[in-house]
């Protein structure tokens, strides 16, 4: 997300996730001028993306989730099952029957805040798990089943591979 006068949102994924980008486009189409397009990234990476218009509604979100151009977890973050599902479809993964939320860009205190929020609001226990030199949030197998049960109604068909546990 970038902000000059007003912020805009960029939705970018691999061409393999075209259906997800098209779904996001459907959600945001009233804020978008052009349909998603294929692009060639670094090397041989083929992506698929779109940009929203720069609008005050995105500026409000930008100011809440960015400080000094760095993404943060706001203290007043509110989550629901649908938000969790979109977050997971966008930036989550499944490995050996455990679900991960890729929170590597956040410092430890913000990851712990997210973990406490998941426990308080959903009864889900997420632990910090080492991923190379960074950490991300991991649900063990039992907690992953609970997590998937919460988000399953909101997972689009092309993302079902992320909930096959």
pLDDT interval class at 69 (50, 70, 90): confident
- Asked whether residue 146 falls in the same domain as residue 111, the answer is yes
In 3D, which of 99, 91, 95 has the Cα closest to residue 122?
99
Asked if residue 156 has pLDDT above 90, the reply is: yes
Which residue reads 């005050």 in tokens?
56
Tell me what pLDDT residue 56 has.
96
In a domain, 146, yes or no: yes
Residue with tokens 């509604």: 57
Q: Are residues 58 and 39 in the same domain?
A: yes
pLDDT value for 2? 55
Same domain as 145, residue 86: yes
Q: What angle do CA 24, 165, 142 make, to 5 degrees?
A: 110
* 96 located within any domain: yes
pLDDT of res. 3:
58
Q: Which two tokens stand for residue 107?
A: 């410092």
**Alpha helices (H) in the chain, listed in sequence order:** 18-28, 56-65, 81-91, 108-122, 141-151
Q: What is the pLDDT of residue 22?
A: 98
Q: Which of 48, 71, 94 is the last residue of a domain?
A: 71
Q: Do 128 and 136 form a contact (C-beta atoms < 8 A)?
A: yes
Query: Torsion over CA of 142, 144, 147 and 148, rounded to 10 degrees?
Result: -110
Give the tens place of pLDDT for each residue, 29-49. Answer: 999 999 999 999 888 899 999
What's the pTM value of the predicted model, to 2 decimals? 0.91
Residue range of the domain that includes 135: 81-163
pLDDT digits (tens, 9 = 90+) for 102-137: 999 999 999 999 999 999 999 999 999 998 899 999
Instruction: Single out the residue in 71, 99, 129 at which a domain terminates.
Output: 71
Please state, for a pLDDT cut of 70, what percent of the chain lies above it.
Answer: 98
Dist CA 74 CA 113 (whole Å):
9
Same domain assignment for residues 51 and 98? no
In a domain? residue 76: no
CATH value at residue 99? 3.10.28.10
Among 136, 122, 59, residue whose Cα is nearest residue 91: 136
| Mean pLDDT value of segment 130-150 | 95
Mean pLDDT of the chain: 94
Residue 147 maps to a domain:
yes
Domain boundary among 16, 49, 71: 71
């Amino acid at each position: 997300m970038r902000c000059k006068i007003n912020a805009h949102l960029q939705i970018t994924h691999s061409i393999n996730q075209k259906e997800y980008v098209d779904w996001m486009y459907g959600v945001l189409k009233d804020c978008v001028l052009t349909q998603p397009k294929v692009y060639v990234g670094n090397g041989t990476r083929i992506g698929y993306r779109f940009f929203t218009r720069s609008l005050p509604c995105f500026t409000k979100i930008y100011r809440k989730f960015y400080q000094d151009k760095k993404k943060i977890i706001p203290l007043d973050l509110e989550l629901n099952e649908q938000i969790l599902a979109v977050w997971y479809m966008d930036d989550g993964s499944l490995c050996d029957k455990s679900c991960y939320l890729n929170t590597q860009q956040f410092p430890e205190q913000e990851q712990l805040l997210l973990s406490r929020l998941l426990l308080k609001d959903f009864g889900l226990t997420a632990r910090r798990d080492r991923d190379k030199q960074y950490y991300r949030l991991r649900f063990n197998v039992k907690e992953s089943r609970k997590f998937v049960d919460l988000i399953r109604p909101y997972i689009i068909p092309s993302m079902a591979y992320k909930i096959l546990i």
